[in-house]
């Protein structure tokens, strides 16, 4: 199969590939930046109906890092994708492909999706996967205290967008965070706070700017404890029922 051969080629270091696009000046620091501007392949993909069957094929190459179940890895290197809203997946991938979010590790794979239809297909497939019940949690001895502290902050400042159960908001491009790995959450929030994830929602950036490292730990511990009813897998093996 074509994609598997491509995967082997991409994974072998002997093949030289064009690097990711130079970071765009736009982004949260650019004065003309408009968050989530409705343009380019993103709006095209959002208008199309994704075909899960074709998406499953397109996803094959992604499973090498995000795993076939879409579970990602508890060490926080690769995020969980399973169950993420199609809108969020399409936005993040279009931003990565277009140089608005830096992801040099994934870039050569993100560009294997040939067009907006393939973006829509893969996103439909991923959204349909159940969210694995086992994922990286905060493992310190003080977990209960951290989770309580984090819950308080989350309910005051984040629930409005990311929802009571971490379900996000599909229509508004707010990500599902339920089931996400603790270490990935902590890393992303630190990057968003420090202005390194340039495609970030400016309202969230404003809220998170004054957070201390300790507060980020607490709020990540809480988010990693959330479960999203109806979307979580029923068994460890990843079956929905
Ligand atoms: C070589 C490993 C690798 C491959 C293959 C890969 N990714 Fe990724 N992906 C990553 C990494 C690393 C990140 C997290 C980047 C960061 O830390 O900001 C990521 C992030 C993402 C995100 C953003 C998730 C979020 O929570 O914001 C999406 C969506 C995504 N990948 C989809 C895909 C799809 C679809 C494919 C297949 C076409 C794919 N990835 C292939 C490594 C990979
Ligand atoms: C105004 C709505 C809004 C608020 C308030 C908000 N967020 Fe976000 N958040 C977003 C959006 C949108 C993204 C996706 C980044 C992007 O592309 O803009 C995001 C991304 C994230 C991510 C990364 C998820 C991923 O899959 O990579 C985490 C973690 C997160 N938010 C946690 C929080 C926490 C914790 C708070 C409260 C302190 C918060 N957010 C407040 C809208 C919001």
**What tens digit of pLDDT does each residue of 90-110 get?**
999 999 999 899 999 999 999
**Is the pLDDT reported for residue 13 higher than 50?**
no
Task: Give Cβ neighbours of residue 153 (< 8 Å, ≥ 6 apart).
Answer: 215, 218, 219, 222
User: What's the pLDDT at 240?
Assistant: 54
Model confidence pLDDT, tens digit, residues 129-155: 999 999 999 999 999 999 999 999 999
Question: Region 215-240: what's the mean pLDDT?
Answer: 89
- Which residue is closest in CA terms to ligand 1's atom 21? 79
Model confidence pLDDT, tens digit, residues 64-77: 999 999 999 999 99
User: What's the pLDDT at 30?
Assistant: 65
State the CB neighbour count (10 A cutoff) for residue 128: 17
User: What's the pLDDT at 238?
Assistant: 64
**Is the pLDDT reported for residue 22 higher than 70?**
yes
Phi, psi torsion values for 47, nearest 5 degrees: -80, -20
Gap from CA of 239 to ligand 1 centroid (Å): 23
Contact, 179 vs 135, CB < 8 A? Answer: yes
Ligand nearest to the CA of residue 150, numbered in listed order = 2
- Which residue is closest in CA terms to ligand 2's atom 30? 189
Domain annotation for the chain: domains and CATH numbers:
143-223 (1.10.760.10)
pLDDT greater at residue 170 or residue 5: 170
Contact, 216 vs 193, CB < 8 A? Answer: yes
- Which residue is closest in CA terms to ligand 2's atom 10? 174
Contact, 86 vs 123, CB < 8 A? Answer: yes
**Is the pLDDT reported for residue 6 higher than 80?**
no
User: What's the pLDDT at 14?
Assistant: 36
User: What's the pLDDT at 3?
Assistant: 57
User: What's the pLDDT at 21?
Assistant: 77
Q: pTM higher than 0.85, yes or no?
A: yes
Model confidence pLDDT, tens digit, residues 171-211: 999 999 999 999 999 999 999 999 999 999 999 999 999 99
User: What's the pLDDT at 241?
Assistant: 45
What tokens does 228 get?
Answer: 């999203």
Least confident of 89-103, 105-119, 150-164, 225-239: 225-239
Give the residue, out of 55, 65, 124, 198, with the most ligand 1 atoms within 8 A of its beta carbon, to mutate for a pocket test: 65
190 burial (CB, 10 Å; 0-12 / 13-18 / 19+) is: middle
């Amino acid at each position: 199969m074509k994609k598997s051969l491509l995967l082997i080629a991409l994974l072998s270091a002997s093949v030289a590939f064009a690097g990711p696009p130079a970071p765009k000046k736009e982004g949260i620091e650019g004065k003309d930046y408009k968050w989530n501007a409705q343009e380019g392949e993103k709006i095209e993909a959002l208008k199309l109906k994704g075909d899960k069957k074709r998406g499953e094929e397109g996803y094959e190459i992604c499973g090498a890092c995000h795993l076939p179940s879409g579970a990602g890895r508890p060490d926080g290197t690769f995020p969980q994708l399973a169950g993420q809203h199609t809108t969020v997946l399409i936005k993040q991938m279009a931003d990565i492909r277009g140089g608005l979010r830096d992801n040099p590790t994934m870039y050569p794979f993100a560009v294997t999706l040939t067009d907006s239809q393939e973006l829509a297909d893969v996103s439909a497939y991923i959204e349909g996967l159940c969210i694995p019940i086992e994922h990286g949690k905060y493992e310190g001895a003080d977990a209960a205290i951290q989770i309580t502290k984090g819950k308080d902050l989350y309910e005051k400042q984040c629930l409005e967008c990311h929802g009571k159960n971490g379900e996000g908001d599909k229509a508004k491009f707010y990500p599902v965070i339920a089931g996400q790995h603790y270490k990935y959450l902590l890393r992303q929030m630190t990057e968003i706070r420090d202005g390194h994830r340039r495609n970030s929602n400016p309202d969230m950036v404003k809220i998170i700017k004054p957070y201390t490292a300790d507060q980020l730990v607490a709020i990540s511990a809480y988010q990693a404890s959330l479960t999203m009813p109806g979307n979580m897998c029923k068994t460890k093996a990843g079956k929905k029922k």
